[in-house]
Chains A and B, each alone.
Chain A
Amino acid sequence: MKRRQFFKTAGGATFLASAGLMNQTSTFPAFLMDLYALGEEANLSKVEARYYKKHPDREIECTLCPRFCKLGDKERGYCGVRENIGGTYYTLVYGKACSIALDPIEKKPLFHYLPKSSALSIATAGCNVNCKFCQNWEISQVRPEQIQNYDFPPGAVVKTAKKYRCAVIAYTYTEPVVFYEYMYDTSLEARKKGVRTAVITGGHINPEPMEDLTKVVDAIKIDLKAFSQDFYTKYVRGELQPVLDAIKIVHKSSAWLELVYLVIPNLNDSSDEIRKMCQWIVKEIGPDVPVHFSKFVPMYLVKNLPPTPVSTLEKVHKIALEEGIRYVYIGNVPGHSAESTYCPNCKKIVIERRGYSIGKIALKGGKCKYCDNPIPGIWI
């Protein structure tokens, strides 16, 4: 394999998606060298999928996500990474990573979960929705054979995470639901070796696989893309209710949960929609789940809208606080004061952030150093 292939773009996307730790650690060049040593460009995997039903005449029905794709022989699901071969359903991306990077955990974003730690971040091709504003469409909206993949089986992922002292393995960039088996087995392996795992997902998954997943992973960040089915139909091509159900399942489990809401001008930024969503959050999962409102930048198929004004982000931030959510953040606006964590009791900064850099941390045993108020999160 030629070195330059690691910087090869997949339809324009940077293959090595993030160099977020470059300023934080000297391990980055060595990490790159290790990546160079990975196997030759990989073929597709042929590992039997989980969560599907066999029907007569070599047909199958996938029950992993709310799409319930029903497929004949040789057909692929909506996600493009699962194929019916002779009546058995296979994942084509097991152990076939298309993006591998070291990221700060804050980039996910997970703000109440092991701050300052590094995450070995992996993704395969594919996604089970088609957001018109996708930031990573060059890898999420393609079939695995249309980009470069590298053999990176679960054992190798965990070994690499250990080697580079990554506290977390993050499944991210595309939609981990579609590489469920790879993610699940890697998480089991990681647990054995004392490495934690985080899932960065749209939450478009059925209850049973989500419940099973929460038993083997440690943190889950869910993108709630709007609070209306109309938006999900037009801009996501998915369903809102299963996402809300998934959020409740994670909340009830032992996995740490955070939510992200990408605020898109005119499409999902009305005060009414934001208020209703915040009320739902407080009622169903409580006021302590961190909620991040992120700035939209024109992307993929939504290029006719401006980036979200900071004033809009501040408006939704205020609504969330008014509705009682205690940890509300503004994302993609480096240097904004709402990047930091404030103690809801004494209002002092307990974790200071600027972009992905962490300043002072004023926590002691999971409590505010100034007033002893407990701050929910996984801190060690």
Chain B
Amino acid sequence: MTGPIDITWKEEYFLIVMASKVVLIRGKGVLTGGGDIDQKKLLSMYNRGIQILMDNQNPKDSLRLIFKNSDRLGIKINTIAGRKLSSRPEVSYSLASLLQDGGIQPKNIIIWDRTNRELREAGYRLNLNRGGIKVIGTDTKGFGYDSQLTSYLNIGSLFSSIQSNKITASISLAILKDHGMAGVTAGMKNYFGAVHNPNKYHDFNCNPFVAELFETKFIKQKHKLSILDSLIVQYHRGPSYHARWAEKYEALIFSLDPVAADYVGWQVIEKLRAKKGLASLKEEKRAPVYLKTAEKMGLGKASPEEIKIIEEDV
């Protein structure tokens, strides 16, 4: 595509054409024998995923369909479970470099999570570099949580000022995991890390809290893309890391529809559970019912007949 993009057309494109496409890219060998990442393969997984998601545009143009060059972009990662089950630095940096290629200025990219301690424990080097990509926790001096409560339906929270103030667009780069209470934690629930009181939202399988939090203005208006890091999938006993139930799945899942992305993530977990002879999440009474709530709220699709899954190996 050449020339400036018509905004009205762009929005329509989001809502109608692309809404429920989910792209699952598998990269066999992306995790090397020693547990390192084959960087080249990872980049090609990203490139292919974005290309297919945006209808085979070249990756640069594809990204321009999603973000404006002037956007200040937050990449919300998940580092709660330590080094073995967090968004790896290689995965976040590869995405950031792709975004730079797509025209986002490095100084406008923030890779972030709730605390510096968790980021460090997941292998990140904190970086407040004014001119380049930043890697910071909400507890970094000068950031912190808002002083004003955001109150919406069952939600009452102080938002990370990164999500509320510092960015204009957001990517949820989440780890795909089983979750003892939510059933599944993926792109939508990743935003629990954007508020000061996530522990208050775990009742009733996190329903309706995941959906309602997503619908708050700081998330709904800014979230543009879900990417589920499924290189290792914890399909049982999550969200903590347990080697016994962690599958080397070597995939990335992409979608503009946050609900559909998580729905597909859920199906991946169910397939792995079935393969290992485990009861389904439904049988364990912890199916991620918040996805249906989210669908009812119009946040995306959680019905298989309305989701188009495209799988490809690179």
Contact = CB atoms under 8 A, between A and B. Distances in A.
Q: Please say whether chains A and B are actual partners in one complex.
A: yes
Interface of A: 11-12, 57-59, 70-80, 130, 132, 141-143, 145-146, 237, 300-301
Contact of A301 (B80, B151, B180, B203): B151
Given A130-B200, A141-B197, A142-B196, A74 B145 contact: no
Contacts of B238: 72
Contacts of B149: 300-301
Contact of A11 (B139, B145, B242): B145
Interface in B250-295: none
Interface in B185-233: 196-197, 199-200, 202-203
Contacts of B103: none
Interface of B: 80-82, 115, 139, 145, 147, 149, 151, 156, 158, 180, 196-197, 199-200, 202-203, 237-242
Given A58-B240, A132-B156, A146-B145, A76 B199 contact: yes
Q: DSSP majority for the B interface?
A: loop
Contacts of A76: 199
Contacts of A71: 180
Contact of A70 (B145, B180, B203, B242): B180
Contact of B200 (A59, A72, A78, A146): A78
B199 A11 contact: no
Nearest to A130: B200
Contact of A80 (B81, B199, B241): B199
B156 A301 contact: yes
A23 B81 CA distance: 51
Contacts of A143: 196-197, 199
Given A57-B237, A72-B238, A72-B240, A78 B196 contact: no
B237 to A, nearest CB: 6
Contacts of B242: 57
A311 B116 CA distance: 52
Nearest to B241: A73
Given A132-B156, A301-B151, A78 B202 contact: yes
A67 to B, nearest CB: 9
A11 B158 contact: yes
Contact of A74 (B151, B156, B237, B240): B240
28 contacts: A12-B147, A57-B237, A57-B240, A58-B240, A71-B180, A72-B180, A72-B239, A73-B240, A74-B80, A74-B81, A75-B240, A76-B199, A77-B199, A78-B199, A78-B200, A78-B202, A78-B203, A79-B199, A80-B199, A130-B156, A130-B200, A143-B199, A146-B145, A146-B196, A237-B200, A300-B156, A301-B151, A301-B156
B151 to A, nearest CB: 5
Prevailing SS type, chain A contact patch: loop
A342 to B, nearest CB: 40
B259 to A, nearest CB: 25
A313 B144 CA distance: 41
Nearest to A9: B147
B156 to A, nearest CB: 4
Contacts of A75: 239-240
Contact of B82 (A74, A77, A237): A74
Nearest to A81: B199
Given A11-B145, A146-B196, 5 more contacts: A57-B240, A141-B200, A146-B145, A237-B200, A300-B149
Contacts of A12: 147
Contacts of A132: 156
Contacts of A80: 197, 199-200
Nearest to B138: A146
Contacts of B203: 78, 237
B197 to A, nearest CB: 6
Contacts of B158: 11
B81 A11 contact: no
A301 B149 CA distance: 9
A77 B199 CA distance: 7
A212 B239 CA distance: 33
Given A142-B196, A145-B139, A72 B202 contact: no
A376 B184 CA distance: 55
Contacts of A142: 196-197
Contacts of A301: 149, 151, 156
Contacts of A130: 156, 197, 200
B144 to A, nearest CB: 8
A25 B98 CA distance: 66
A77 B82 CA distance: 18
Contacts of B80: 74
Contacts of B199: 76-80, 143
A74 B238 CA distance: 11
